Amino acid sequence: MKYYPHPILAKEGWLYIGLSTVIAILLLMYNFWVALPFILIATFIIQFFRDPPRNIPSDPNIILSPADGKVICIEECQDVYQNTPALKISIFMNVFNVHSNRSPADGVVEQLNYIPGKFVNADFDKASVENERNAMILKLANGDKITCVQIAGLIARRILCYTKVGASLSRGERYGFIRFGSRVDVYLPLNYKPLVSLGQKVKATENILAKLEA
């Protein structure tokens, strides 16, 4: 199954793509070597804002990756947004990853919590509690609740979340975007078993983070 009702170049980047491309073309008409740095900048911006379709596994007992990136944390801890013990899986997105955020499961948005904060390197553990972030609590059909937290990073200064409390999200549905490097933390009930390993590179919706244990 694929869920892809949006442009292959994310709408969040259209202004940046347009301006950088126009500048590069105008300078190219003047001198190639003068234009070259701007061509490279435009190329980088275009690749940053790509938002390709993805295959979406349909097993209702799995939790999908909400973001592209590298798994940097798998641990049991306290979900401070629900005040419950949880399995935490964190994904770090560098500037070369796709930065569209997608729902990790089918569910209803029960709570949204935006918290202003710092912009330390999102690869650091303290980014989870110190950086600007937006937490979404999703209630699944089986009654389980999971928390998905968008976290701004050292370069990222803009968290975008388009869903609302009460909205129903389908797995793989695009619900947000973070510009220029960031992190997503997923908190799951302890009866979910992680299916990823530290350092593993994952793709949003295509990779399975965890599965509900029988």
Please report the pLDDT score of residue 192 as a whole number.
97
- Cα 188 to Cα 42, 45, 114, distances in angstroms: 39, 34, 19
Is pLDDT above 60 for 3? Answer: no
| pTM confidence score | 0.87
The pLDDT confidence band at residue 1, using thresholds 50, 70 and 90, is: very low
3-state secondary structure of 44: helix
| Backbone region of residue 166 per phi and psi (left: phi > 0; alpha: psi in -120 to 50; beta: other values) | left
CB 194 within 8 A of CB 44: no
Higher local confidence (pLDDT), 10 or 195 = 195
Contact between 173 and 204 (Cβ < 8 Å): no
- pLDDT of 207 above 90: yes
For residue 134, what are its two tokens?
């937006």
Q: Each residue of 166-202: pLDDT tens digit?
A: 999 999 999 998 876 688 999 999 999 999 999 999 9
Using 50, 70 and 90 to split pLDDT, how confident is the model at 121?
low
Give the number of other CB atoms < 10 A from CB of residue 164: 9
Out of 100, 168, 182, 197, which one is annotated catalytic? 182
Residues 136-160 have pLDDT tens digits of: 999 999 999 999 999 987 665 678 8
Torsion-angle region of 181 (φ positive above 0: left; ψ -120 to 50: alpha; else: beta): left
DSSP string, 170-188: -TT-EEEEE-SSEEEEEEE
| 90 is a catalytic site residue | no
Contact 107, 60 (CB under 8 A): no
Instruction: State pLDDT tens for residues 60-118.
Output: 899 999 999 999 999 999 999 999 999 999 999 988 888 889 999 999 999 999 988 77
Contacts of 45 (CB under 8 A, 6+ apart): 13, 16, 17, 20
Any idea what the Cα angle at residue 65 is, between residues 62 and 70, rounded to 5°? 135
